[in-house]
A and B are shown apart, each in its own frame.
Chain A
Amino acid sequence: NAGVMQNPRHLVRRRGQEARLRCSPMKGHSHVYWYRQLPEEGLKFMVYLQKENIIDESGMPKERFSAEFPKEGPSILRIQQVVRGDSAAYFCASSPGLAGGENTGELFFGEGSRLTVL
């Protein structure tokens, strides 16, 4: 049973380019979370999605950032016109939601995508 898969693991972009980060949740998981982590810091919530729906995007910057979790395929975190301040590790996590009757919020994390903006 494959875990949460994120790609690319490392991404280098120049200022003004677009970054697209992908996350395939664990099999059977319908909830996806994206977090951002700066070096030596904690995880900052960005967005929480279920299939085809954004449930909570209160942590997403209003401009340049968007996320989706389509019916088919991985979840995508897209950053347009990247700036140096976007350099960080972006972690995706999935959870089964109400599968099994209880949503505990237990998260299963990918290994992260490390974005460097030159």
Chain B
Amino acid sequence: SQQGEEDPQALSIQEGENATMNCSYKTSINNLQWYRQNSGRGLVHLILIRSNEREKHSGRLRVTLDTSKKSSSLLITASRAADTASYFCATFGGYQKVTFGTGTKLQVIP
């Protein structure tokens, strides 16, 4: 079963706009991670936020985590056509498997 549900399922924006994706999960976690997948390729790790952190930045990426609501968001600022991909959140409980959400398909229109 999927741990996370992502919202929206698909998102289409113009280049230069910001893209926000949300992830909700069900169980307690050690950390939450975001991955990117280009069409037909493997996943690439983007950023990790620990359960005791509320916000984290990496370049144009900003991730927030609200453990009381069991939710996270990924913000991509000043989007580029090259950001077009699917984005997945993943939860890690410390000793168990890494479980992925359903993904958000982002299209950035040049």
What residues make up the interface of A, taking CB atoms closer than 8 Å to B? Answer: 4, 33, 35, 40-45, 48, 56, 58-59, 91, 93, 95, 103-112
| Contact A42 to B102, CB < 8 A, known contacts A33-B97, A109-B43 | yes
A93 touches B43 (CB 8 A): yes
| Contact A105 to B2, CB < 8 A, known contacts A43-B88, A93-B43 | no
Type the 1/0 row for B15-41, where 1 means its CB is closer than 8 Å to any CB of A.
Answer: 000000000000000110101000001
B42 touches A91 (CB 8 A): yes
Complex: A111 Cα to B42 Cα, angstroms: 4
What residues make up the interface of B, taking CB atoms closer than 8 Å to A? Answer: 2, 30-31, 33, 35, 41-45, 48, 88, 90, 92, 94, 96-103, 105
Complex: A73 Cα to B99 Cα, angstroms: 26
A107 touches B97 (CB 8 A): no
B residues less than 8 Å from A111 (CB atoms): 41-42
A residues less than 8 Å from B96 (CB atoms): 48, 56
Q: Which of A42, A103, A109 contacts B2 (CB 8 A)?
A: A42
A109 touches B42 (CB 8 A): yes
